[in-house]
Amino acid sequence: MRIDVLVAEIGSTTTVVNAFQNIHTPCPKFIGQGQFPTTVLEGDVNIGLQGAVEDLRKHLNTDTIEYNEMLATSSAAGGLKMTVHGLVYDMTVRAAKEAALGAGAIIHNITAGKLRRTDIKKIMEIKPNIILIAGGVDYGERDTAIYNAEKIVELDLDIPIVYAGNIENQEEIKEIFLNTDKKLYMIENVYPKIDQLNIEPTRKVIQDVFEEHIIHAAGMTKVKDMVNGPIIPTPGAVMEASKLLKEALGDLITFDVGGATTDLHSVTEGSEEINRILISPEPIAKRTVEGDLGVFVNMLNIVEIIGKEKLYKEMELNIDKIVETYSPIPKTSEEIAFVERLTLEAVMVALERHAGKLRYLYGPGGKTTVAEGKDLSNVKYIVGTGGALTRLPNGKDILKKAINKNKENMLLPTEEAEIIIDNYYIMASLGVLAKRYPEAALSLMQQSMGISQRED
């Protein structure tokens, strides 16, 4: 059987392959999915990819599988590890951080100001896949970024460097890296003016660098030989899909609840009323990753947040026994109920951490209301993806409960927001597919979510 496009999602625990047909027609189709354990520990993720293709072959009941194109997303071996180094945390550092997270990175270290010996030591220990240097508005402060570049060039690490700081430094930065074997990528300033973010160019170049330097998981070079299209970080692919869906439907947020983390992607300009009182700018497309909110790897963290006694009273289950025998895919009704409760808590906590809030300042003129953080009050759609929300029976109800528990002064979605689920669990695959076939990707997304396609 020949398939138009295969998209591989190489995760930290499972590798999934999704098959798409009729990509070049107005009626693209999702025809099947195969999966296999990711084989990082075996030293070659290619084994898991081939296993997932074989599983797909069995599901499609065909003798062989051939394909015209294979694209991929990856979060294996910890995903895209980055460190970010800027000038002032609330300004350039924060802008650089937003760009890195939006590209799908896991940020392991953030520094503001000139690098210290302890900062250098941490970078050496982390061995990131990419280092991002920022700092200074255009034609503003120059010394910090130059100093940090000089320190980083001295490191004995073969790591691509992205510079996204004061454009007046660009020639100086090039000189610093001129006679080295380090790969330097120069991009527009992420924070060119006070209270102005310029995140998208940096976000794009991070994904391009990731694709060019697939060195973070054993065997990825072999996978690159199989893949004849883009490879991007899995969280970045979910963001790309969310942005595409926002263009078609309107402002939205996407919850991606997995075994290790819970990611929340928001694509919204916010309301005019809140924008007028925001004390600092927010990106239109924002991602937060909660590394302590996974429903398998970090299950015990969520149990602790809820409280074991409270869980027992709510569910009347032997929590200790379930924890002891718990597997990545719940099988019994008790396990399913347990994971649904963990998922609800993960969604609520992730939403609270992501959303902005109103604050009241008191001065000579009386009380003034200001807003800080991401305004979600204009969100029209709440999307659920990831294994927990798409494979559990009550994913939609979980999201409804989480949204209805609004907290005072939080800039949260209203109860009128429509909840939709990525039923085929293909949103990340469609994010990378959209880089080549955006119309087909949007159509497939709407099919997965049961949304009628809209005429322009």
pLDDT tens by residue, 117-159: 999 999 999 999 899 999 999 999 999 999 999 999 999 888 9
pLDDT of residue 387: 87
More confident residue, 77 or 12: 12
Tens of pLDDT, residue by residue over 316-346, are 878 888 888 777 778 888 889 999 999 999 9
Question: Which position has the token pair 């059987």?
Answer: 1
Tens of pLDDT, residue by residue over 271-298, are 999 999 998 889 999 999 888 888 888 8
What is the per-residue burial (b if ≥16 Cβ within 10 Å, else e) of 244-253? bbbeebebbb
Q: Percentage of the chain with pLDDT > 90?
A: 64
pLDDT band at residue 209 using 50, 70 and 90 as cut-offs: confident
- Does pLDDT of 79 surpass 90? no
The radius of gyration of the chain from alpha carbons, rounded to an integer in Å, stands at: 22
45-49, 211-215, 274-278, 307-311: range with lowest mean pLDDT: 211-215
Among 164, 184, 163, 79, CA closest to 128: 79
Average pLDDT over residues 61-74: 93
More confident residue, 456 or 29: 29
Among 268, 266, 267, 264, CA closest to 289: 264
**Mean pLDDT estimate for the chain:** 90
- Topology alike, domains 2-77+217-229 and 233-422: yes
pLDDT of residue 404: 84
pLDDT band at residue 237 using 50, 70 and 90 as cut-offs: very high
233-422 carries CATH number 3.30.420:
yes
Question: Which position has the token pair 């997995």?
Answer: 258
Which CATH number among 3.30.420.40, 3.30.1540.10, 1.10.3210.10, 1.20.1540.10 corresponds to the domain 2-77+217-229?
Answer: 3.30.420.40
Q: Percentage of the chain with pLDDT > 70?
A: 95
- Does pLDDT of 269 surpass 50? yes
pLDDT of residue 40: 63
- Cβ 65 vs Cβ 57: under 8 Å: yes
Tokens of 369: 């209301």
pLDDT of residue 260: 81
Count CB neighbours of 329 within 10 A. Answer: 12
pLDDT of residue 455: 42
Among 48, 110, 94, 111, CA closest to 75: 48
Distance CA 127, CA 129 (A): 7
pLDDT of residue 453: 62
Domain boundaries, the chain: 2-77+217-229, 80-212, 233-422
CA torsion sign, 10 to 16 to 22 to 27? negative
- The CATH architecture assigned to 80-212 reads 3-Layer(aba) Sandwich (3.40)
Tens of pLDDT, residue by residue over 354-395, are 999 999 998 888 889 999 999 999 999 999 999 899 989 999
More confident residue, 55 or 455: 55
Average pLDDT over residues 104-127: 93
pLDDT of residue 77: 60
- Cβ 383 vs Cβ 242: under 8 Å: yes
Tokens of 421: 């689920």
- Does pLDDT of 241 surpass 90? yes
DSSP designation for 169: G
Q: What are phi and psi of 88, to 5 degrees?
A: -115, 130
Tokens of 147: 């100093």
Average pLDDT over residues 69-80: 80
Q: Which residues make Cβ contacts (< 8 Å) with residue 135, sequence separation at least 6? A: 85, 86, 87, 92, 141, 144, 145, 148, 165, 166
Average pLDDT over residues 50-67: 94
Distance CA 84, CA 102 (A): 13
Tens of pLDDT, residue by residue over 212-229, are 776 555 566 677 777 888
pLDDT of residue 456: 41
